[in-house]
Amino acid sequence: MSELDKRLQMVYEKIKSKEIISKKGLGNEIPYYIFDYDPHDELKIRDFVKLIMKNFSYIGSEINPVEIDLYEVFLEILKEKNIFDVIEEYEKNMGKDKMFRALESVSKPENFINIITKQVEGHNLILITGVGKVWPFMRAHIILNNLKNHIDKTATILFFPGTFSGTSVKLFSIFEDKNYYRGFKIS
């Protein structure tokens, strides 16, 4: 069994035992956990999240997970703002730089948080994925920092493609982010 498989098994057991949703050992801290991984293992992480969703998303389960793929949230924002269908044409006519700025203008934390808070209603475990897919338009620390003002009691696991030191992250193990991460390394 690989080191990643051992770590994923540990997370699975913590979910299964309800340790994560009961916020065991956290005191009054916000129940945010970060699972960092080698970006090359992205497909394995996606399979793991599917497994969690399959094994715990049934009527009567005490664990009610929801996956929040930040890229899917971003696409929903673009559709809400009526930008999605014109991106390709806009890039052809205005160039990549202007298109990038247009996408940045709708990448506001409140747009993400509004959609996320609707999607997590009624769930007691949030699995955040798609961090690498939505970069550089949105960053994980911005999501977590803004989410705490709306959802501070629901257990949340952020799957991060890179490294997490316990206080800061390096996306893809390359781009260092000096922002403080209020979360616990899950394994």
- pLDDT the model gives residue 50: 97
- The pTM score is 0.87
Q: Which residues of the chain have pLDDT under 50?
A: none
- pLDDT the model gives residue 161: 92
Structure tokens at 96: 């990549």
Burial of 80-95, coded b for 16+ CB within 10 Å and e otherwise, reads eeebeeeeeebbeeee
Q: DSSP assignment of 93-104, as one string?
A: HH-HHHHHHHHH
- pLDDT the model gives residue 26: 53
- pLDDT the model gives residue 172: 65
